[in-house]
A = this chain, B = another copy of it.
Amino acid sequence: MAQLGTQSIQFEEAPYILSSASIVGTKEGEGPLGKKFDVVGKDDQFGEQTWEEAESTLQKEAATLAMGKAGLVKGDIRYIFGGDLLGQSIATTFGLMELNIPLFGLYGACSTAGESLSLAAMTVAAGYGDQVLAVTSSHFASAEKQFRFPLEYANQRPLSACWTVTGGGAFVVGHKRPGASEAGNKDSEACPAAGKKSGARITGITTGRVMDYGVKDSMNMGAAMAPAACDTIYRNFLDFGRGPQDYDKIVTGDLGYVGQEILIKLLKEKGFDITSEHMDCGIEIYDRQAQDTHAGGSGCGCSAVTLSAHILPQVEKGAYRRILFVPTGALLSTVSFNEGQTVPGIAHGVVIEHG
Protein backbone atom coordinates (compact mmCIF):
# COMPACT_ATOMS: atom_id res chain seq x y z
CA MET A 1 0.00 0.00 0.00
CA ALA A 2 2.23 2.73 -1.26
CA GLN A 3 1.39 6.31 -0.41
CA LEU A 4 1.85 8.28 -3.61
CA GLY A 5 2.41 12.02 -3.49
CA THR A 6 0.15 13.88 -1.09
CA GLN A 7 -3.23 12.59 -2.20
CA SER A 8 -2.96 9.11 -3.69
CA ILE A 9 -2.64 5.48 -2.66
CA GLN A 10 -1.63 2.57 -4.85
CA PHE A 11 -2.87 -0.74 -3.46
CA GLU A 12 -0.33 -3.56 -3.37
CA GLU A 13 -3.11 -6.10 -3.49
CA ALA A 14 -5.90 -4.40 -5.37
CA PRO A 15 -9.42 -5.18 -4.13
CA TYR A 16 -12.04 -6.48 -6.57
CA ILE A 17 -15.40 -5.02 -7.38
CA LEU A 18 -17.14 -8.38 -6.93
CA SER A 19 -20.50 -7.15 -8.13
CA SER A 20 -22.60 -4.05 -8.59
CA ALA A 21 -26.22 -3.09 -9.12
CA SER A 22 -28.18 -0.15 -10.50
CA ILE A 23 -31.79 0.86 -10.05
CA VAL A 24 -33.20 3.96 -11.75
CA GLY A 25 -36.36 5.95 -12.37
CA THR A 26 -38.49 6.25 -15.49
CA LYS A 27 -36.60 9.10 -17.15
CA GLU A 28 -33.28 7.27 -16.82
CA GLY A 29 -34.96 4.14 -18.14
CA GLU A 30 -36.01 6.06 -21.27
CA GLY A 31 -32.47 7.35 -21.85
CA PRO A 32 -29.68 5.86 -23.95
CA LEU A 33 -28.50 3.57 -21.12
CA GLY A 34 -32.05 2.47 -20.27
CA LYS A 35 -31.65 -1.18 -21.20
CA LYS A 36 -28.41 -1.57 -19.27
CA PHE A 37 -29.77 -0.84 -15.80
CA ASP A 38 -30.72 -3.76 -13.57
CA VAL A 39 -34.06 -2.30 -12.55
CA VAL A 40 -36.14 0.55 -14.00
CA GLY A 41 -39.00 1.65 -11.75
CA LYS A 42 -42.56 1.66 -13.09
CA ASP A 43 -42.86 5.11 -11.57
CA ASP A 44 -40.52 7.26 -9.47
CA GLN A 45 -42.19 6.54 -6.13
CA PHE A 46 -41.05 2.92 -6.04
CA GLY A 47 -44.13 1.97 -4.03
CA GLU A 48 -43.47 4.51 -1.27
CA GLN A 49 -45.45 7.45 0.10
CA THR A 50 -42.74 10.13 -0.02
CA TRP A 51 -39.86 11.00 -2.34
CA GLU A 52 -37.41 10.47 0.50
CA GLU A 53 -38.75 6.99 1.19
CA ALA A 54 -38.56 6.30 -2.53
CA GLU A 55 -34.89 7.26 -2.46
CA SER A 56 -34.31 5.02 0.57
CA THR A 57 -35.82 2.18 -1.43
CA LEU A 58 -33.30 2.82 -4.20
CA GLN A 59 -30.46 2.26 -1.74
CA LYS A 60 -31.99 -0.82 -0.15
CA GLU A 61 -32.79 -2.48 -3.47
CA ALA A 62 -29.43 -1.67 -5.05
CA ALA A 63 -27.56 -3.02 -2.01
CA THR A 64 -29.67 -6.17 -1.88
CA LEU A 65 -29.29 -6.79 -5.60
CA ALA A 66 -25.52 -6.27 -5.53
CA MET A 67 -25.16 -8.73 -2.67
CA GLY A 68 -27.33 -11.24 -4.50
CA LYS A 69 -25.28 -10.97 -7.69
CA ALA A 70 -22.15 -11.79 -5.68
CA GLY A 71 -23.88 -14.73 -4.03
CA LEU A 72 -23.63 -13.01 -0.66
CA VAL A 73 -26.07 -12.41 2.16
CA LYS A 74 -26.02 -9.48 4.54
CA GLY A 75 -24.04 -11.43 7.15
CA ASP A 76 -21.17 -11.60 4.64
CA ILE A 77 -20.84 -7.82 4.47
CA ARG A 78 -18.66 -6.32 7.17
CA TYR A 79 -19.26 -2.61 6.61
CA ILE A 80 -21.35 -0.30 4.47
CA PHE A 81 -19.95 3.02 3.28
CA GLY A 82 -23.06 4.95 2.27
CA GLY A 83 -24.34 8.43 1.65
CA ASP A 84 -26.71 10.64 -0.29
CA LEU A 85 -27.48 14.31 -0.93
CA LEU A 86 -30.23 14.91 1.59
CA GLY A 87 -29.78 16.78 4.86
CA GLN A 88 -28.60 14.33 7.54
CA SER A 89 -28.35 11.63 4.84
CA ILE A 90 -31.83 10.28 5.53
CA ALA A 91 -32.03 8.23 2.34
CA THR A 92 -29.08 6.22 3.64
CA THR A 93 -30.30 5.96 7.24
CA PHE A 94 -33.76 4.69 6.39
CA GLY A 95 -32.67 2.75 3.31
CA LEU A 96 -29.91 0.70 4.88
CA MET A 97 -31.26 0.35 8.44
CA GLU A 98 -32.90 -3.04 7.82
CA LEU A 99 -29.65 -4.55 6.58
CA ASN A 100 -28.32 -4.29 10.13
CA ILE A 101 -24.72 -3.92 8.92
CA PRO A 102 -22.18 -1.57 10.60
CA LEU A 103 -22.44 1.73 8.74
CA PHE A 104 -19.99 4.52 8.04
CA GLY A 105 -22.17 7.43 6.89
CA LEU A 106 -20.54 9.71 4.32
CA TYR A 107 -21.19 13.13 2.85
CA GLY A 108 -19.36 14.13 -0.30
CA ALA A 109 -22.29 15.59 -2.27
CA CYS A 110 -22.32 13.98 -5.73
CA SER A 111 -18.74 12.74 -5.21
CA THR A 112 -20.02 10.19 -2.68
CA ALA A 113 -19.76 7.24 -5.10
CA GLY A 114 -16.02 7.97 -5.35
CA GLU A 115 -15.62 8.55 -1.63
CA SER A 116 -17.45 5.33 -0.73
CA LEU A 117 -15.49 3.23 -3.25
CA SER A 118 -12.23 4.76 -1.97
CA LEU A 119 -12.94 3.92 1.67
CA ALA A 120 -14.30 0.48 0.73
CA ALA A 121 -11.11 -0.30 -1.18
CA MET A 122 -8.91 1.03 1.66
CA THR A 123 -10.82 -1.13 4.15
CA VAL A 124 -10.60 -4.34 2.12
CA ALA A 125 -6.97 -3.83 1.07
CA ALA A 126 -5.99 -3.33 4.72
CA GLY A 127 -7.68 -6.59 5.73
CA TYR A 128 -10.35 -4.93 7.88
CA GLY A 129 -13.13 -6.72 6.03
CA ASP A 130 -13.49 -9.39 3.38
CA GLN A 131 -16.48 -7.85 1.67
CA VAL A 132 -17.82 -4.34 2.13
CA LEU A 133 -20.58 -2.40 0.39
CA ALA A 134 -20.40 1.07 -1.16
CA VAL A 135 -23.90 2.51 -1.68
CA THR A 136 -25.19 5.87 -2.91
CA SER A 137 -28.38 7.35 -4.30
CA SER A 138 -30.11 10.47 -5.49
CA HIS A 139 -33.70 11.22 -6.49
CA PHE A 140 -34.84 14.05 -8.73
CA ALA A 141 -37.85 14.97 -6.61
CA SER A 142 -36.19 14.78 -3.18
CA ALA A 143 -33.20 16.76 -4.47
CA GLU A 144 -35.35 19.50 -6.05
CA LYS A 145 -37.24 19.82 -2.76
CA GLN A 146 -33.98 19.90 -0.78
CA PHE A 147 -31.92 22.23 -2.93
CA ARG A 148 -34.24 24.24 -5.17
CA PHE A 149 -38.04 24.22 -5.31
CA PRO A 150 -40.73 21.59 -4.73
CA LEU A 151 -41.85 20.14 -8.06
CA GLU A 152 -45.31 21.71 -7.62
CA TYR A 153 -43.71 25.13 -8.14
CA ALA A 154 -42.94 24.18 -11.75
CA ASN A 155 -40.01 26.58 -11.74
CA GLN A 156 -38.10 27.42 -14.90
CA ARG A 157 -34.68 25.86 -15.12
CA PRO A 158 -31.82 27.75 -16.80
CA LEU A 159 -29.84 25.99 -19.54
CA SER A 160 -26.87 25.54 -17.19
CA ALA A 161 -28.97 23.45 -14.78
CA CYS A 162 -28.47 19.70 -14.50
CA TRP A 163 -31.21 17.13 -13.92
CA THR A 164 -30.73 15.09 -10.74
CA VAL A 165 -30.70 11.41 -11.59
CA THR A 166 -33.21 9.17 -9.83
CA GLY A 167 -31.04 6.18 -9.13
CA GLY A 168 -29.26 4.03 -6.60
CA GLY A 169 -25.99 2.21 -7.13
CA ALA A 170 -24.26 -0.36 -4.96
CA PHE A 171 -20.89 -2.07 -5.23
CA VAL A 172 -19.53 -5.06 -3.33
CA VAL A 173 -15.78 -4.61 -2.89
CA GLY A 174 -13.91 -7.69 -1.75
CA HIS A 175 -10.76 -9.76 -1.57
CA LYS A 176 -10.06 -12.09 -4.42
CA ARG A 177 -9.32 -14.86 -1.98
CA PRO A 178 -11.48 -17.91 -2.74
CA GLY A 179 -13.84 -19.57 -0.27
CA ALA A 180 -15.67 -18.16 2.70
CA SER A 181 -14.64 -15.01 4.45
CA GLU A 182 -12.50 -15.66 7.47
CA ALA A 183 -14.19 -14.00 10.40
CA GLY A 184 -17.50 -13.36 12.01
CA ASN A 185 -19.49 -15.01 9.29
CA LYS A 186 -22.05 -16.87 11.29
CA ASP A 187 -25.05 -16.09 9.09
CA SER A 188 -23.87 -17.59 5.85
CA GLU A 189 -22.33 -20.57 4.20
CA ALA A 190 -19.24 -20.39 2.03
CA CYS A 191 -19.24 -17.37 -0.21
CA PRO A 192 -19.34 -18.51 -3.83
CA ALA A 193 -18.44 -15.24 -5.49
CA ALA A 194 -15.37 -14.42 -3.47
CA GLY A 195 -13.27 -16.84 -5.49
CA LYS A 196 -14.63 -15.79 -8.86
CA LYS A 197 -12.47 -13.63 -11.06
CA SER A 198 -14.49 -10.46 -11.09
CA GLY A 199 -12.73 -8.60 -13.83
CA ALA A 200 -12.52 -5.15 -12.22
CA ARG A 201 -10.08 -4.11 -9.52
CA ILE A 202 -9.57 -0.85 -7.67
CA THR A 203 -5.82 -0.38 -8.02
CA GLY A 204 -5.53 3.12 -6.58
CA ILE A 205 -7.28 6.22 -5.34
CA THR A 206 -6.72 9.98 -5.37
CA THR A 207 -8.65 11.74 -2.63
CA GLY A 208 -9.95 15.22 -3.35
CA ARG A 209 -9.60 18.56 -1.63
CA VAL A 210 -12.33 21.19 -1.39
CA MET A 211 -11.85 23.64 -4.26
CA ASP A 212 -13.58 27.00 -4.38
CA TYR A 213 -13.45 29.16 -7.50
CA GLY A 214 -16.10 31.51 -6.15
CA VAL A 215 -19.06 30.22 -8.17
CA LYS A 216 -22.28 31.53 -6.64
CA ASP A 217 -24.80 30.20 -9.16
CA SER A 218 -26.67 27.26 -7.62
CA MET A 219 -28.09 26.49 -11.07
CA ASN A 220 -24.65 25.92 -12.56
CA MET A 221 -23.19 22.96 -10.72
CA GLY A 222 -20.91 22.04 -13.62
CA ALA A 223 -18.94 25.24 -13.22
CA ALA A 224 -18.75 24.76 -9.44
CA MET A 225 -17.38 21.23 -9.72
CA ALA A 226 -15.03 21.49 -12.72
CA PRO A 227 -12.10 23.00 -10.72
CA ALA A 228 -12.29 20.15 -8.20
CA ALA A 229 -12.35 17.55 -10.99
CA CYS A 230 -9.38 19.29 -12.60
CA ASP A 231 -7.42 19.29 -9.34
CA THR A 232 -8.06 15.62 -8.58
CA ILE A 233 -7.26 14.45 -12.14
CA TYR A 234 -4.12 16.62 -12.22
CA ARG A 235 -2.95 15.26 -8.85
CA ASN A 236 -3.68 11.73 -10.04
CA PHE A 237 -1.48 12.29 -13.10
CA LEU A 238 1.37 13.65 -10.96
CA ASP A 239 1.09 11.13 -8.13
CA PHE A 240 0.96 8.07 -10.42
CA GLY A 241 3.32 9.52 -13.05
CA ARG A 242 0.62 9.16 -15.68
CA GLY A 243 -1.05 11.20 -18.39
CA PRO A 244 -4.34 10.98 -20.31
CA GLN A 245 -2.87 8.32 -22.61
CA ASP A 246 -2.53 5.95 -19.63
CA TYR A 247 -6.31 5.77 -19.22
CA ASP A 248 -8.81 4.40 -21.71
CA LYS A 249 -11.42 6.67 -20.17
CA ILE A 250 -11.37 9.49 -17.63
CA VAL A 251 -14.92 9.47 -16.31
CA THR A 252 -16.27 12.42 -14.33
CA GLY A 253 -19.48 12.12 -12.37
CA ASP A 254 -21.87 14.86 -13.33
CA LEU A 255 -20.14 17.88 -14.83
CA GLY A 256 -22.55 17.91 -17.76
CA TYR A 257 -21.92 19.89 -20.93
CA VAL A 258 -21.06 23.15 -19.18
CA GLY A 259 -18.64 21.59 -16.70
CA GLN A 260 -17.02 19.36 -19.30
CA GLU A 261 -15.96 22.35 -21.36
CA ILE A 262 -14.48 24.08 -18.29
CA LEU A 263 -12.66 20.94 -17.11
CA ILE A 264 -11.01 20.32 -20.49
CA LYS A 265 -9.92 23.95 -20.65
CA LEU A 266 -8.54 23.99 -17.10
CA LEU A 267 -6.55 20.81 -17.65
CA LYS A 268 -5.17 22.15 -20.95
CA GLU A 269 -3.84 25.10 -18.98
CA LYS A 270 -1.97 22.60 -16.81
CA GLY A 271 -0.54 20.87 -19.89
CA PHE A 272 -2.90 17.90 -20.26
CA ASP A 273 -5.45 17.41 -23.05
CA ILE A 274 -8.09 14.86 -22.03
CA THR A 275 -10.47 15.63 -24.92
CA SER A 276 -10.17 12.10 -26.37
CA GLU A 277 -10.40 10.24 -23.08
CA HIS A 278 -13.04 12.26 -21.24
CA MET A 279 -16.48 10.84 -20.57
CA ASP A 280 -19.06 12.30 -18.19
CA CYS A 281 -21.77 10.18 -16.59
CA GLY A 282 -24.13 13.18 -16.63
CA ILE A 283 -23.74 13.41 -20.41
CA GLU A 284 -24.02 9.65 -21.01
CA ILE A 285 -27.21 9.04 -19.06
CA TYR A 286 -29.69 11.25 -20.97
CA ASP A 287 -30.33 11.93 -24.65
CA ARG A 288 -29.54 15.60 -25.14
CA GLN A 289 -32.01 16.14 -27.97
CA ALA A 290 -34.87 13.87 -27.03
CA GLN A 291 -34.82 14.30 -23.26
CA ASP A 292 -33.81 17.95 -22.95
CA THR A 293 -32.32 17.89 -19.48
CA HIS A 294 -30.35 21.04 -20.33
CA ALA A 295 -26.77 20.63 -19.03
CA GLY A 296 -27.04 16.86 -18.36
CA GLY A 297 -27.56 14.57 -15.39
CA SER A 298 -26.30 15.02 -11.83
CA GLY A 299 -26.60 13.59 -8.34
CA CYS A 300 -24.81 10.87 -6.35
CA GLY A 301 -26.83 8.29 -8.23
CA CYS A 302 -25.73 9.54 -11.65
CA SER A 303 -22.13 8.37 -11.47
CA ALA A 304 -23.00 5.28 -9.41
CA VAL A 305 -25.56 3.81 -11.80
CA THR A 306 -23.57 4.78 -14.90
CA LEU A 307 -20.44 3.13 -13.51
CA SER A 308 -22.38 -0.01 -12.62
CA ALA A 309 -24.43 -0.40 -15.80
CA HIS A 310 -22.40 1.27 -18.54
CA ILE A 311 -18.72 1.44 -17.62
CA LEU A 312 -17.84 -1.52 -15.38
CA PRO A 313 -18.99 -4.10 -17.98
CA GLN A 314 -16.45 -2.58 -20.39
CA VAL A 315 -13.71 -2.89 -17.77
CA GLU A 316 -14.74 -6.42 -16.88
CA LYS A 317 -14.52 -7.63 -20.47
CA GLY A 318 -11.27 -5.75 -21.06
CA ALA A 319 -12.57 -3.22 -23.61
CA TYR A 320 -11.27 -0.62 -21.13
CA ARG A 321 -8.02 -1.76 -19.52
CA ARG A 322 -7.77 1.12 -17.07
CA ILE A 323 -10.09 4.00 -16.24
CA LEU A 324 -10.03 6.93 -13.85
CA PHE A 325 -13.46 7.35 -12.26
CA VAL A 326 -13.88 10.82 -10.73
CA PRO A 327 -17.29 11.56 -9.21
CA THR A 328 -17.70 15.28 -8.63
CA GLY A 329 -19.58 16.99 -5.83
CA ALA A 330 -20.93 20.52 -5.45
CA LEU A 331 -20.89 21.35 -1.75
CA LEU A 332 -24.12 23.31 -1.93
CA SER A 333 -26.61 23.85 0.85
CA THR A 334 -29.59 26.16 0.79
CA VAL A 335 -28.47 27.58 4.14
CA SER A 336 -24.94 28.53 3.05
CA PHE A 337 -26.20 29.61 -0.38
CA ASN A 338 -28.88 31.87 1.06
CA GLU A 339 -26.24 33.39 3.33
CA GLY A 340 -24.26 34.41 0.26
CA GLN A 341 -21.62 31.72 0.35
CA THR A 342 -20.04 30.25 -2.75
CA VAL A 343 -20.54 26.69 -3.97
CA PRO A 344 -17.23 24.85 -3.51
CA GLY A 345 -16.56 21.49 -5.16
CA ILE A 346 -14.82 18.22 -4.34
CA ALA A 347 -13.93 15.20 -6.49
CA HIS A 348 -12.63 11.78 -5.50
CA GLY A 349 -10.66 9.71 -8.01
CA VAL A 350 -10.75 5.90 -8.20
CA VAL A 351 -8.48 3.96 -10.58
CA ILE A 352 -10.27 0.85 -11.85
CA GLU A 353 -8.44 -1.72 -13.97
CA HIS A 354 -9.32 -4.89 -15.82
CA GLY A 355 -7.81 -7.93 -14.14
Contact = CB atoms under 8 A, between A and B. Distances in A.
A245 interface: no
Greatest chain B CB density within 10 A among A2, A3, A102, A331 is at A102
A93 B111 CA distance: 13
Interface string A150-193: 00000000000000000000000000000000111110000000
A104 interface: yes
Interface in A1-27: 1-7, 9
B109 A1 contact: no
7 contacts: A6-B75, A7-B184, A88-B107, A100-B210, A104-B118, A105-B346, A146-B335
Interface stretch (A126-134, A273-281, A285-293, A315-323): A126-134
B333 A208 contact: no
Given A96-B210, A339-B50, A87 B90 contact: no
A38 interface: no
A197 B37 CA distance: 54
A186 B146 CA distance: 41
Interface residues of A, number: 68
A29 interface: no
Give the copy number: 2
Given A2-B183, A3-B184, A93-B344, 10 more contacts: A1-B128, A3-B129, A83-B107, A87-B87, A88-B332, A93-B210, A101-B209, A104-B207, A122-B126, A125-B126
A109 B52 CA distance: 18
Contact of A346 (B103, B108, B335): B103
A89 interface: yes
B106 A107 contact: yes
Interface in A309-355: 331-336, 339, 341, 344, 346
Contacts of A128: 1, 3, 9, 122, 126
Contact of A88 (B102, B109, B339): B109
B103 A208 contact: yes
